Structure 1
Amino acid sequence: MSNFIHFNGKIIPAENPLVSAGSRGLRYGDGLFETMRVINGRIALHYLHFERLFNGLAVLQFQCPASFTPAYLAEAVLALCRKTNIEKGARVRLNVVRGNGGLFDPDNHIPNVIIEATPLEAPAGIQEQGLVIDIYNTVRKHYDVLANIKSNNYLPYVLAALHANNNRLHECLLLNTAGRICDATIANVFWVKDGRIYTPPLSEGGIGGVMRRYLIENVAKQHAIREEPLTPEMLEQADEVFLTNAIMGIKWVGRYRDKEYSNQMATLLYNEYVKKLWE
């Protein structure tokens, strides 16, 4: 944990208290967040992160001052990394919450910003051992206007992560209300069948991942990626399964229950499209 954080334009000691009991972020999860990777003084895929963030702020009806821009936030992130001497490699969480107030009477709708940064080394390559995963089906995601944003109201993923820990799994996949797979606790899911790459469309209820979008927009030039619904039965018929997010890039799945997978396509995509982001 870093000794410093950014809070509303200032870099302060991390142990300083930030919110009161009346915080809507604390009371209602009224906010959203981005998790970013800083490498050599730059934010990887920054344009996709800030596009998603500001789309989410609009959905949650925040009122952003004119000075509250992607450029302002990017400089705040990098300034914190410079302050803590980790600008060569860092994991950054940028959290935006509404201020104090009750459910019907917030004090205002201006974003409050908390930024945390911790050291993070770039991986040498895709991981050697495949992940062991399963499906968490106790809580299912609805598809609505909130489904694709990184809301602070994260309970389905919290419970899925607890299930993974309690069952010695690396990850869990989540289902939507129709019983189809939408995403994982901290990642989007892709699968490969007969040389074709697939991922669930966002209409299935998964979060609109930055790495997911990057791959869809870039890999299609060489390898077609199709967006199709994914059922648990289809998962068992896949040749490969891999997970993506902005911190790890790509991680391949080695086993789902009794099914084992290869990793040729995941390794190819990592080497061709993800590895260069960490350089």
Structure 2
Amino acid sequence: MYNINGELSDNHNSCLNNRAFLYGDAVFETFKISNGKVLFLEDHYFRLMASMRVLRMKIPANFTLEYFETQLLNLARALHYTNARMRCTVFRNDGGKYLPHDRTVSYIIEVELLNSPKYVISESNYEVDIYKDFYVTSQLLSNLKTTNRVLNVTGSIFAEENDLQNCILLNQNKNVVEFLNGNLFLLINHTLVTPPLSEGCINGIMRKQVLNFISNDIHYKLEERTISPFELQNADELFLTNVMCGIQPVTKYKKKIYTTAFAQDFLAKINQSI
């Protein structure tokens, strides 16, 4: 079942020939519904609005925070889902080639059932490596969640072919940017380090939560700075963040074995806060 422009439908064929599929002319947000509540709703909403402005989409007057919350929850409730993964894709309407005929938009919301309202860290090994076939560009467009994810797709195939759970992406300057599906953090002694948005990483919702928590924690120092690949093996912990998994600690990179205590403790605080 789908929510297409506010209407619940089992048919999404009307969306197959639009600009999102032809040109990647679309942005999206992935939401987590926990116990019937949209987590971090305001952060998602304002990121979506900012992304639409950057892409010069015409934002409809009814695209309010309350409207999006209603549309998300109506779809979840129609399926009796209290815990769900939901993706809202906003795309520019049909017409034109590279230059659109107009800048109005439509959207589609997809839903997937989740078994638990809480974030849970997998206890299995989580090994990663660097993906070097293609690079992220350090520009504003790289901060947005557009539907142009070819780099992430090819990187995911590379990870599967090499029995890896994930890969780390670099930018054109060969600096560490992020994981295939989330932001990257290093814990070095009592300093938490993450690349700044200027390096080209996604402006992640869970990334923001971590930054907010750490900025108020007297036991840890926070640094947003350039990270060299050589630093990865000097860290005590390495973990990724996104709104669906919360925090996923890495257990191994090359010959380096990481601890996971900080990530485990921090995820418990995230669960408590929600």
TM-score (norm 1): 0.93
Instruction: Give 3-state SS (helix, strand or coil) of 1:160's partner.
Output: helix
Q: 1:271 is matched with which residue?
A: 268
Residue type of the alignment partner of 2:92:
R
The one-character-per-residue Cα deviations of 1:207-232 (angstroms, maximum 9, x if unpaired) are: 01000011101222113321121111
Q: 1:111 is matched with which residue?
A: 105
Alignment of 1:134-213 (within 5 A): 134-213=129-208
Q: Is the 8 A contact 1:130 1:252 kept in 2?
A: no
Distance in structure 2 (CA, Å) of the matches to 1:252 and 1:84: 32
The correspondence for 2:86, drawn from 75, 89, 92, is 92
Q: Is the 8 A contact 1:44 1:277 kept in 2?
A: no
Residue type of the alignment partner of 1:176:
N
Q: 1:17 is matched with which residue?
A: 13
Residue type of the alignment partner of 1:246:
V
Distance in structure 1 (CA, Å) of the matches to 2:145 and 2:12: 25
The one-character-per-residue Cα deviations of 1:74-128 (angstroms, maximum 9, x if unpaired) are: 1101100000111x20000110111112235424212211000111123464322
- The alignment yields a C-alpha RMSD, in angstroms, of 1.4
Distance in structure 2 (CA, Å) of the matches to 1:224 and 1:112: 43
How far apart are residue 158 of structure 1 and its match? 1.2
Distance in structure 2 (CA, Å) of the matches to 1:20 and 1:180: 37
Residue type of the alignment partner of 1:267:
Q
Distance of aligned partners of 1:218 and 1:247 in 2 relative to their CA distance in 1, 3 Å threshold: same
Aligned residues: 271
Q: 1:34 is matched with which residue?
A: 29
Note if 1:247 corresponds to 2:247. Answer: no
The one-character-per-residue Cα deviations of 1:128-179 (angstroms, maximum 9, x if unpaired) are: 2341111101110111220101011111111111111111111111000000
Distance in structure 2 (CA, Å) of the matches to 1:7 and 1:137: 38
Note if 1:131 corresponds to 2:138. Answer: no
Q: Is the 8 A contact 2:2 2:12 kept in 1?
A: no
Distance of aligned partners of 1:189 and 1:32 in 2 relative to their CA distance in 1, 3 Å threshold: same
Residue type of the alignment partner of 2:246:
G
Q: Is the 8 A contact 2:207 2:242 kept in 1?
A: yes
Q: Which runs of 5+ in 2 are unaligned?
A: none
Q: Is the 8 A contact 2:119 2:245 kept in 1?
A: no
Distance in structure 1 (CA, Å) of the matches to 2:273 and 2:92: 32
Residue type of the alignment partner of 1:9:
G
Residue type of the alignment partner of 1:173:
I
Q: Is the 8 A contact 1:130 1:251 kept in 2?
A: no
Q: 1:235 is matched with which residue?
A: 232
The correspondence for 1:69, drawn from 64, 67, 74, is 64
TM-score (norm 2): 0.95
Distance of aligned partners of 1:94 and 1:277 in 2 relative to their CA distance in 1, 3 Å threshold: farther
Identity within the alignment, %: 31
How far apart are residue 18 of structure 1 and its match? 2.4
Distance in structure 2 (CA, Å) of the matches to 1:33 and 1:43: 16
Q: Is the 8 A contact 1:141 1:175 kept in 2?
A: yes
Q: Is the 8 A contact 2:120 2:245 kept in 1?
A: no
Q: Which moved more, 1:104-113 or 1:235-244?
A: 104-113
